[in-house]
Structure 1
Amino acid sequence: MQHLDIVPRQTLKNIKPYSPGKPIWEVERELGLTRVIKLASNENPLGPSPKAVEAIKNSIPELHRYPDAGAKLASAAIASQLDLKPGQLIVTNGGDELISLVSEAFLEADDEIVIPAPSFSEYEFGAYLMGARTVPVPLTADFRYDVDAMLAAVTPRTKLMYICSPNNPTGTYLPEAGLRRILDTIPKHILVVIDSAYSYFASADDYSSGLEFVRAGYPVIVLQTFSKIFGLAGIRIGFGAAPESVIRTILKVKEPFNVNALAQAAASAAITDDEHVQASVQVNEKGREQLYKGFRELGLAYTESMGNFVLVELGPDAQSIYEQLLARGIIVRYGGTWGLGGHVRISVGLPEENDTLLVNLRAILQEQKD
């Protein structure tokens, strides 16, 4: 075989490929199982918005046409629902693409981004892609935001600050007062990215998705997705909401047909599906309480969550317990990805799925005692 001397960019040494949760079919094939429960990727256990499914069916005959490059119908539907202007929106191929686009639009080599830690790994990916540096700010011992520490991390090289609220993987959030303090304090040339992908699940009275700050003209971009509450993870669509000048800048680096036609049609319908949203919220709130109760009975520490997942502390045997659950056909997410080797993150499922998880977790813990 011929040796190749093609040299990749030096910054790629910093990049680790994203490690998603295992799909159901892969676990079934690897372990010879016929029934697998996936509680690893924070998906909506109710499935997709019925309005979105109908919109997809109606759009199939037009698949020979290119999608609308500007996603105008989807933008108009989102803007109407969220009291924004279409010009304040950019529709993207999931929230991940928005993070990459923001990085491409605003970061130069050796710029800095401030990120909470632990949090979503794609923030680092976007920075490293552009040769920028990440400045992680640890959450407190109980996984809360430390506003003073976030502000202290800002330097003359800071270009972006990420705030994930509710935060993945901890489920904790930054109260509105803390968010407002950050936005009123940091230099105005810093773009604050408020990742509120899980905002619909947040029930705290002092929670803010950040959209009111967009309406007020702050230098922020709010990231939201159709993958969670609307159940459209499989077709990849999300959006960013920001002042129109910020959106215009990001549009300069966007691919022309970045969001497929079925996703655009589905999002336009799903954003109006209040019935599905409310049903999903109710299932999640009941499911969280079901898991909390089960964890308490098992003597396990957990972090109360504003998302559709719960971070659970299992101690030094966490990875072994994760693997034993996997062998039993239950997929959860091991916390080693975030430097939380003693934890697993468990997505909220349907009542029977949550119960199956708890029954098997109890059996594994009992076997360890015996």
Structure 2
Amino acid sequence: MIDEIQVQGRKILQQMKPYSPGKPIWEVQQELGIDYVVKLASNENPLGPSPKALEALAAFLPELNRYPDAGAKLLNQALAAQLNLQPQQLIVTNGGDELITLVAETFLEAGDEIVVPSPTFSEYEFGATLMGASTVSVPLNDDYSYDISAILSSVTERTKLVCICSPNNPTGTYLGKEDLKRLLDALPKRVLVLFDAAYTHFASAEDYTDGLEFVRAGYPIIVLQTFSKIYGLAGIRVGFGAASVELVSQIYKVKEPFNVNALAQVGAAAAIADKEHVDKSRKLNAAGREQLYGAFRRFGLRYTESMANFILVELGPDAQTIYERLMQEGVIVRYGVGWGLPGHVRISVGTQEENAFLIEKLGGILAKDGQ
């Protein structure tokens, strides 16, 4: 018999907190023995993928015996033309998550610090911890807006990176253009800003910025966007970063050669030209947010107005119980404990029918509890 394996992982792994995604529909169906399940937990596009992307994917299937383009040149060029950037200012990645990891691998070393407004997406801290860097959390204001003064006060000589998610996951709040400019102008030029604009296409506020204007102006900023949300391509994992040529060239040094599969490249290149799908998705989301807002008001629930395709809802001390009961009724939402919000859930905006199903089930649970 072979002796017990004694191979040890890196010590830093003891501090790592793996990302915990929402349960897939099939798993809930299998666990609970129910047929109809609505998933409003992962901020996916309820309209499905871009039709143009599906057409391009089907046409490309016979080419799958070939390796993908290591530089994703065709997609890179299409993005550059649409965004008014040079191709050398863009890096295509395996979803936005890979870009976050690549930024950490490129710019962070043991002992460095990153500044992260909180609550927010957990992968910023994950990437920093992986590299032995520390995360300095800066609480958002009571209304979940950004406190620029507090962010700047948290910057030290060890700060290498400031992470801003706008619209922010899970709150749906955003950082306005003037506040982002104030932050960029005040930060030391050695500090990089990672501006996560994964939900940018859903934002409608007049003072919202996707951050790309600051890339064009030459600031030390890298903007993250993804094809997982508005374009409905979460299943094939493709995103990108936009920054100066100098910053992108450094990130390329740690990128794997075939990081983005060929289908993802082809599908994304077709999706960005699908204006009709984008417009439909925006309109559906805007109407869905209002549908859900109205229900939450009727139920007497506090919620945060969102610039994204999800809404943060306060359910109070019974939030976990309500979350679990919703799942038993066939509705998957996201419980907020992972963000330090145990009294909240995050609810993705679905179709009108999916939203109505959630409203019916949530209303029934609240009525039984006498709320």
Separation in structure 2 between the aligned mates of residue 9 and residue 182 of structure 1, nearest angstrom: 35
Q: Report the secondary structure of 2:152's partner residue.
A: helix
Distance across 2 between alignment mates of 1:13 and 1:161: 24
Q: Distance in 2 between matches of 1:116 and 1:7?
A: 33
Which ranges in structure 1 are unaligned for 5 or more consecutive residues?
Answer: none
- Name 2:258's counterpart in structure 1: 257
* Residues 81 and 272, structure 1, Cα contact 8 Å, conserved in 2: no
| Residue of structure 2 equivalent to 1:342 | 343
* TM superposition score normalised by structure 1: 0.99
Structure 1 residue 59 displacement after superposition = 0.8
Query: How many residue pairs align between the two structures?
Result: 370
Superposed, 1:252-291 pairs within 5 Å as: 252-291=253-292
Counterparts of 1:60-79 in structure 2, within 5 Å, are 60-79=61-80
Deviations 1:203-248 (A, max 9, x none): 0000011000011111100000000000000000000000000000
Distance across 2 between alignment mates of 1:368 and 1:296: 17
Question: What's the counterpart of residue 368 of structure 2?
Answer: 367
State the alpha-carbon separation in 1 of the partners of residues 97 and 261 from structure 2: 15
2:201 — aligned with what?
Answer: 200
Structure 2 Cα separation of the partners of residues 124 and 162 of structure 1: 9
Structure 2 residue runs without a partner (length 5+): none
**C-alpha separation between the residues in 2 aligned to 1:300 and 1:340?**
15
Q: 1:144 matched to which residue of 2?
A: 145
CA distance in 1, matches of 2:197, 2:3: 48
The residue number in structure 2 matching 1:305 is: 306
DSSP 3-state at the match of 1:81: helix
Indicate conservation of the 8 Å contact 1:166/1:198, yes or no.
yes
Other-structure match for 1:90: 91
- Provide the C-alpha distance between the structure 2 equivalents of 1:293 and 1:80, rounded to a whole number of angstroms: 40
d(CA) in 2 for partners of 1:134, 1:24: 33
Q: Which residue of 2 aligns with 1:314?
A: 315
Residue 163 of structure 1 aligns with an amino acid whose one-letter code is I
Identity, % of aligned positions: 66
Q: Distance in 1 between matches of 2:17 and 2:181?
A: 33
TM-score by length of 2: 0.99
Divergent runs of 4+, >2 A: 1-5
Secondary structure at the counterpart of residue 231 of structure 1: coil
For 1:176, the equivalent position in structure 2 comes to 177
Q: Which residue matches 2:47?
A: 46
CA distance in 2, matches of 1:206, 1:257: 38
- The equivalent of 2:22 in structure 1 is 21
* 1:155 alignment counterpart: 156
Aligned to 1:247: 248
The structural deviation recorded for 1:31 is: 0.4
Q: Secondary structure at the match of 1:105?
A: helix
Inter-partner Cα distance in structure 2 for 1:13 and 1:256: 29
The offset of 1:14, in angstroms, is: 1.3
How big is the shift at 1:16? 1.1
Q: What is the aligned partner in structure 2 of residue 3 from structure 1?
A: 4
Q: 1:137 Cα deviation (Å)?
A: 0.5
**Secondary structure of 1:369's partner?**
coil
Structure-1 residue corresponding to 2:297:
296
Aligned-residue Cα RMSD (Å) equals 0.8
Instruction: Show CA shifts across 1:134-185 (max 9, x none).
Output: 0010001111100000111100000010000000000000111110000001
Q: Distance in 1 between matches of 2:306 and 2:15?
A: 31
Report the Cα distance in structure 1 between the residues aligned to 2:78 and 2:277, rounded to whole angstroms.
Answer: 16
Q: Find the aligned partners of 2:53 and 2:80 in 1 and give their Cα distance.
A: 17
1:325 corresponds in structure 2 to 326
Partner of 1:127: 128
Cα deviation for residue 11 of structure 1 reads 1.2
Counterpart position of 2:119: 118
Where 1:253 maps in the other structure, the secondary structure is: coil
Q: Give the Cα–Cα distance (whole angstroms) in 2 for the partners of residues 153 and 11 of structure 1.
A: 24
Measured in 2, the distance between the counterparts of 1:289 and 1:185 equals 37
For 1:211-230, what aligned pairs fall within 5 Å after superposition? 211-230=212-231
Displacement of 1:95: 0.2
Instruction: Write the distance in 1 (CA, Å) between the matches of 2:137 and 2:15.
Output: 15
- Report the AA paired with residue 204 of structure 1: A
Give the Å deviation of 1:5: 2.2
Deviation at 1:369, TM superposition (A): 1.5
User: How far did residue 338 of structure 1 move?
Assistant: 0.4
